[in-house]
Amino acid sequence: MHRRYILILILFLNLFTSSQGFSQQSRDTVIDGVVAVVGGNMILKSDIEAQYLQMRAQGIIKGSPERMKCQLLDKLLYMKLLLHQGQVDSIKVTDSQVESEMDRRMRYFISQAGSPEKLEEYYGKSLLEIKNELKEIIREQMLTEQEEAKITKDVSITPSEVRAFYKKIDKDSIPLVNAEFEIGEIIKQPEIGPAEKLIVVLKLKGFKERIAKGDEFATLAVLYSEDPGSAKQGGELGMFKRGDMRPEFEAASFKLKTPGEVSDIVETEDGFHIIQLIERRGDYINVRHILLQPQVSMANLNRAKVTLDSVAMLITTKKLTFDQAVVKYSDDPSRNNGGMIVNNVSGNTRFEAAQLTQLDPKVFFIVDKLKPGDISAPVLMKTERGKQEYRIYYLKDKTTAHRANLENDYTRIQVIALDKKKQKVVNDWVSQKVPGTYIKIAEQYQKCEFTRKWIH
């Protein structure tokens, strides 16, 4: 097996298909060889095997191994045709575009592996070597994406086409839509007074004095830091790059020059920190920190609750709409989205009933009891960073499970119809390009049942 190519492909696959970290099965040995050629671009047996092993490790294999590998080859032939045509069309991908995408992916790989050191240990290569080996595969992928976007860029769909598409769907093929919720929230963050801030600043000054006298920073972090993610590790955050942390935190971290050096007290939206440099490695830095969060006074906490009580009453009595109340009273950036909670899976504001478990269980039990248009009483919640705040929840809409229809699910049907139209444009493009492109497929794969006609 060509280890260099497999390394690139496995890293590439992990970015898009692995949510479980790095799989030992990805290292399985396969016998390599050329399976197909499209233009001047080869498809190796290892390309297919690496993807197959990845899918097998994730338990998403359907049908026989032979059929699955034929399907994978079908997709790879399409990708190589896009790549070939992108080269013919002289599509340019700049070095800066590649570097930007490289940095994004390396951050992902490092987070999956746990640290830069673990990533290097796993592959037996330095970060620089991994980046160099990934560079061309990223450039090729970006080129194919641009070529595909060019093919479908002018494809749009009209309302009449959406309706016509819907009428042609067999009744049993109309997609089922589970019960869905749309949920809004108004958040009131209690004010933290100067007295509460002074308390934590004085504590951190005391810690700095103890460290200067010989106390271990890591020990103090374990005992006192209020960052649950790093306290048990002695406050250590692991390697990170500019853009990964809060701006104020990064600025203070990158000012540190000598391992062991401790920063001045730094305030971020998470609280107050002191930071100690552990090491620098190229563009990456590793620090440990102690985080203290000022405690909200009971008076300010109650004031936030009373405010939201009044807001809920204004909405209930229809003196304010929810949208108006969000703009006027919410302290959360979600106010720019009308206060609606966004589903991180779908990217829209609808949650299927099963997806409500992705929310805080407390939110689920509140929303589950509401009727559309209802607003909840103020609820005391803790953020991921441990801060206290009051929230009221609004159930904008709740649908029952049903077959998709144009009245309630037009956007969903529109997306399906547009995808279908784009797929036809792509298939027509493939049919047009294949006859004029050199394509050779190894004999043992010519019996595959491809979705497109690759062999003439």
Say whether pLDDT at 13 is over 50: no
Per-residue confidence (pLDDT) for residue 427, from 0 to 100: 93
Say whether pLDDT at 137 is over 60: yes
- Strand 266-268 with 41-44, pairing: unpaired
What angle (nearest 5°) sits at the alpha carbon of residue 26, between those of residues 24 and 27? 75
- pLDDT tens string 222-233: 999 998 888 988
Q: Identify which of 169-173, 199-203, 339-343, 381-385 has the greatest average pLDDT.
A: 199-203
Average confidence (pLDDT) over 99-122: 81
Say whether pLDDT at 313 is over 50: yes
Fold of the 194-292 domain = Chitinase A; domain 3 (3.10.50)
Q: Return all residues near 250 (Cβ < 8 A) that are at least 6 apart.
A: 242, 243, 244
Say whether pLDDT at 389 is over 50: yes
Same-fold call for 3-155+423-445 versus 180-190+297-402:
no
Q: Determine the angle formed by the axes of helices 65-88 and 406-433, rounding to 10 degrees.
A: 70
H helices of 89-216, in order, are 95-113, 116-123, 127-152, 159-168, 194-212
Between 32 and 256, residue with greater pLDDT:
256
Average confidence (pLDDT) over 435-452: 91
Residue 231, SS3 per DSSP: helix
Angstrom CA distances, 392 to 112, 310, 314, 366, 382, stand at 36, 11, 12, 10, 13
Average pLDDT of the residues of the chain: 86
pLDDT band for position 8 (cuts 50, 70, 90): very low
Calpha distance 133→22 (Å, rounded): 18
User: What CATH number should be reported for the domain whose range is 180-190+297-402?
Assistant: 3.10.50.40
- pLDDT tens string 408-432: 889 889 999 999 999 999 999 999 9
- What is the distance of C-alpha 99 from the center of its chain? 19
Q: Look at 10-14, 93-97, 429-433 and tell me which has the smallest mean pLDDT.
A: 10-14
Per-residue confidence (pLDDT) for residue 318, from 0 to 100: 93
H helices of 43-125, in order, are 45-57, 65-88, 95-113, 116-123
Percent of the chain with pLDDT over 70: 91
Q: Pull the structure tokens for residue 386.
A: 């441990």
Annotate 211-228 with three-state secondary structure.
HHCCCCHHHHHHHHCCCC
Domain edges within the chain: 3-155+423-445, 180-190+297-402, 194-292
Say whether pLDDT at 1 is over 80: no
Q: Identify which of 11-20, 358-367, 375-384 has the greatest average pLDDT.
A: 375-384
Angstrom CA distances, 404 to 77, 162, 335, 353, 401, stand at 34, 13, 30, 16, 9
Say whether pLDDT at 19 is over 50: no
Between 5 and 105, residue with greater pLDDT:
105
Q: Does domain 3-155+423-445 match CATH 1.10.4030.10? A: yes
- pLDDT tens string 26-85: 334 444 689 999 998 999 998 888 888 877 777 776 778 888 899 999 999 999 999 999
Say whether pLDDT at 444 is over 60: yes
Average confidence (pLDDT) over 293-304: 92
Please, is 340 exposed, middle or buried when counting C-beta atoms within 10 Å of its C-beta (0-12, 13-18, 19+)?
A: buried
Angstrom CA distances, 299 to 192, 193, 379, 392, stand at 10, 11, 16, 19
Q: Pull the structure tokens for residue 262.
A: 């401790």
For residues 199 and 423, the answer to whether their CB atoms sit within 8 Å is no
Q: Look at 102-111, 245-254, 406-415, 440-449 and tell me which has the smallest mean pLDDT.
A: 102-111
Say whether pLDDT at 99 is over 60: yes
Calpha distance 266→249 (Å, rounded): 7
Q: Look at 137-151, 272-286, 342-356 and tell me which has the smallest mean pLDDT.
A: 342-356
